């Protein structure tokens, strides 16, 4: 089975059998449930549901390896920069101060700051698995049709579908060019100096750019020959009707959103859960 990075791999399980519309709406609804609140209890519930859905999808780590690296770097930078620029913001939000250890008068780590930044990290962790499911467990053409069905212009959705189809081809081209260049003696291992490695990588990127431009021209000509964009609406070959599984998934996500709103209005009386009072 081909499970290369960003490749759509056809599988048959609960997640893959859902309509593209359902997966998109679930992603948006669960995202709203997480973004509305800073109650870490709600976010943990959404996170657990997301992880269960991700495991059910049977997406392999090889498909998401690069995403995981980028997400980890983004979260780490977010945590560091938030503490550097707003080290006492958690104290301002929760109105108390419980010191863990003190570096300087300004940079004092408190449980309130840990709670605030932990809630921010949990926001990302709760919703990113659902985003990966929508991208990797939905056929690109069905993804375009599903987004068009909820009102997004088909030109924009078709551009997204083409982008997702195009990523695996670009990666394969890069790997092929890289192997060819290494066969000619270009060393990109850690044994080579950084500046030399950078120069060798540029020798790969230049032919990759020309290959990409050729493919873009080919796709543009094919779309022009098919009169793409002449009409305001279009029909879709890949489109699924909603069934019982879709309604179940939507019900779960709507329940998560309802839980988030309930906790904000009736329990916490604000977006923040304050365990320090």
Residue-by-residue DSSP string for the chain? ----TT------STTTTS-HHHHHHHHHHHHHHHHT-B-HHHHHHHHHHHHHHHHHHT--HHHHHHHHHHHHHHHHHHHHHHHHH-TTHHHHHHS---EEEESSSS-EEEHHHHHHHHHHHHHHHHHHHHHHHHHHSS-HHHHHHHHHHTT--HHHHHHHHHHHHHHHHHHHHHHHHHHHHHHTT---STTS-HHHHHHHHHHHHHHHHHHHHHHHHHHHHHHHHTTTTSSS----SS-----HHHHHHHHHHHHHHHHHHHIIIIISSSSB--TT-
Tell me the two tokens of residue 244. 């019982």
Q: Residue 220 has what pLDDT? A: 79
Residue 232 placed within a domain: no
Q: How many CA atoms lie within 13 A of 93 on its CB side?
A: 23
CB atoms within 10 A of CB 22: 24
Same domain, 158 and 215: yes
Residue 196 placed within a domain: yes
Q: Residue 5 has what pLDDT? A: 52
Same domain, 126 and 43: yes
Residue 209 placed within a domain: yes
Q: Residue 3 has what pLDDT? A: 45
Query: Radius of gyration over alpha carbons of the chain, in Å?
Result: 23
Per-residue pLDDT for the chain (277 aa), expressed as one digit of tens each? 444 555 677 888 999 989 888 998 999 999 999 999 999 999 999 999 999 999 999 988 888 887 888 899 999 999 999 999 999 999 999 999 999 988 888 899 999 999 999 999 999 999 999 988 888 888 877 777 777 877 878 888 777 777 767 777 777 787 788 788 778 777 666 677 777 777 777 777 888 788 878 877 877 787 777 677 777 777 777 767 788 999 999 999 999 999 999 999 999 999 999 998 8
The pTM assigned to this predicted structure is 0.78
Q: Which residues pair with 102 in a beta bridge?
A: 108
Give me the domain span that covers residue 100.
20-139+240-267
* CB neighbour burial string for 29-58, b if at least 16 within 10 angstroms, e if fewer: bbbbbbeebbbbebbebbbebbeebbeebe
User: What phi-psi label fits residue 229: left (phi over 0), alpha (psi between -120 and 50 degrees) or beta?
Assistant: left
Same domain, 215 and 259: no
Q: Residue 2 has what pLDDT? A: 44
Same domain, 108 and 244: yes
160 vs 143: CA distance, rounded Å: 9
Same domain, 77 and 189: no
Q: How many domains does the chain have?
A: 2
Residue 277 placed within a domain: no
């Amino acid at each position: 089975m081909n499970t290369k990075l960003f490749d759509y791999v056809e599988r048959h399980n609960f997640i893959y059998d859902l309509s593209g519309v359902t997966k998109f709406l679930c992603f948006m609804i669960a995202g709203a449930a997480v973004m509305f609140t800073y109650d870490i209890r709600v976010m943990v519930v959404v996170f657990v549901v997301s992880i269960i859905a991700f495991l059910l999808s049977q997406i392999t780590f090889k498909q998401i390896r690069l995403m995981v690296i980028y997400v980890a770097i983004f979260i780490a930078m977010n945590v560091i920069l938030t503490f550097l620029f707003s080290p006492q913001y958690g104290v301002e939000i929760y109105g108390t101060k419980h010191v863990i250890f003190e570096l300087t008068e300004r940079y004092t780590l408190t449980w309130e700051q840990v709670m605030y930044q932990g809630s921010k990290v949990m926001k990302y962790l709760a919703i990113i698995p659902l985003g990966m499911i929508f991208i990797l467990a939905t056929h690109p053409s069905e993804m375009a049709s599903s987004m068009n069905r909820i009102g997004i212009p088909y030109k924009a959705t078709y551009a997204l579908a083409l982008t997702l189809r195009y990523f695996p081809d670009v990666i394969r081209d890069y790997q092929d060019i890289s192997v060819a260049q290494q066969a000619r003696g270009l060393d990109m291992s850690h044994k080579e100096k950084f500046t030399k490695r950078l120069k060798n990588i540029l020798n790969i990127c230049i032919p990759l750019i020309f290959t990409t431009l050729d493919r873009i021209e080919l796709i543009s000509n094919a779309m022009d020959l098919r009169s793409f964009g002449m009409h305001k609406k279009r029909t879709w070959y890949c489109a699924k009707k909603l069934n019982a599984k879709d309604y179940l998934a939507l019900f779960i996500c709507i329940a998560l959103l309802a839980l988030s709103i309930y906790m904000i209005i009736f329990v916490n009386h604000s977006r923040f859960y304050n365990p320090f009072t």
